[in-house]
Amino acid sequence: MGSKRICIALITIILCAVAATAKPNEAKAARGMLVGIYDPVQPIAAPDTTFPTLVKLRTQIGSFVTRAWVTEGIRPGVLGMSHHLGRWRLKDEIGGARSATALVSIAREHGRYRMRQEHGARPFESNDPDSQRIWWNEVGVHQNLTFPVQPDPVSGMHCWHQRVRLERAGPEDRYGDIEVDTEKAHEAYKEWMRQTRPAPGPDGSRRPYWFDRPLRPVKAAYRVP
């Protein structure tokens, strides 16, 4: 190994060691200087390890209650949340893997939907003995329902990035609570539609052929009949 690579390896090891032992300054974190998830009105102080506090995230059409971990790895004012978790089912024994889904109930009132988790993952009997060894309960929060339809005007691709508001969860809020207003969702859809142009595009296609995708259809499929 050359000297240059050795130096890079040593620097990497040192940086990893420093990162592993570094602790956020609580005073600065309380002012929202170092944290990636915080409430500027009622700041959340950074802990020594993790900070699984309940927060409510409001979108244009609804809200959901989840946990926030304060971290220096995200720029202040930016929220990073995976939307690959939070799977759910409506019946206890069917509708999804019980080790990775939550049992929920859904209430509807005048275009507003509310989903509440009845319970998360828990041990159950099956022909696999490991199903009795489930030690976790929380399986994430389903947030996709709270995101309005907001396609990119050029490509038609759905845009996940959006402006949201973060606040502390209220006394009646529970982990996994979701609320959605379908009337607001429809208004958001019409607003985005007003920013688009009807097909076909300048070259006579329904959408840009240059827009990459894992399985690209044949070029003829892009043409408007």
- Please check whether residue 224 lies inside any domain of the structure: no
Higher pLDDT, 116 or 68: 116
- Please check whether residue 219 lies inside any domain of the structure: no
- Please check whether residue 211 lies inside any domain of the structure: no
Residues 6+ apart with CB under 8 A from 136: 120, 121
User: How many residues make up the chain in this entry?
Assistant: 225
Mean predicted lDDT score pLDDT of the chain: 77
- Please check whether residue 160 lies inside any domain of the structure: yes
Per the structure, the count of domains in the chain is 1
Q: Which of 5-19, 31-45, 196-210 has the highest mean pLDDT?
A: 196-210
- Please check whether residue 7 lies inside any domain of the structure: no
- Which residues on adjacent β-strands are paired with residue 67? 54
Predicted pLDDT of residue 155: 67
Residue 50, domain extent: 23-197
Residues 6+ apart with CB under 8 A from 218: none
- Please check whether residue 149 lies inside any domain of the structure: yes
Residue 4 has pLDDT above 70, yes or no: no
- Please check whether residue 181 lies inside any domain of the structure: yes
Q: Kindly report the pTM of this predicted structure.
A: 0.68
